[in-house]
Amino acid sequence: MKVLIIGLGNPLFCDDGIGPRVVQELKKRPVPSAVQPVEAGGSFFNYWSFLLQSHHVIAVDSMLGGGPAGTVYRVGPGCIGEDEKYGIRHEVHFRDVLKMAAFHGARPGVIILGVEPKNLDYSLQLSPEIEEKVPELVKIILTYCRNPIDASCDGWGG
């Protein structure tokens, strides 16, 4: 396995479920055999073994970046702080998971696709503005799988 797609977020909290929703959509499409999509939810145990074997990682989650709801951010792990601004309801901060993986010798290239949420209340449905971003995120992921690139801290909005 070379490319790991991690759908982070809790689908019980409306737009925080964007990561798992994108992975569900990705699983409906043909992807190269080197691509492993994983619905992780909020637990790193759901993707830990895959992470240790990956060369490239794309993590998809909600991200509070200050933009309008539905803004898509593309950043590297060094761009996210230690606070809960990113990874709204996770047992372990994604940045800490990457540090643990590095300790075990795994240092994949990582891109984080974050989506500015509209609603984080209890709901199993994404807000319409967030749901409409799913095809765009799938397209970005499939493009990346063909041509891996590095993320910067520019906070690319789209």
Asked if the model's pLDDT at residue 65 lies above 90, the reply is no
Which has the closest alpha carbon to 158: 63, 30, 58? 63
**Which pTM does this prediction carry?**
0.86
Domains of the chain (ranges; CATH) run: 3-157 (3.40.50.1450)
Nearest-angstrom CA–CA distance, 156 and 2? 24
Give the model's pLDDT for residue 89: 54
pLDDT of residue 61: 92
Q: Which tens digit of pLDDT belongs to each residue from 114-157?
A: 999 999 999 899 999 999 999 999 999 998 887 765 554 444 33
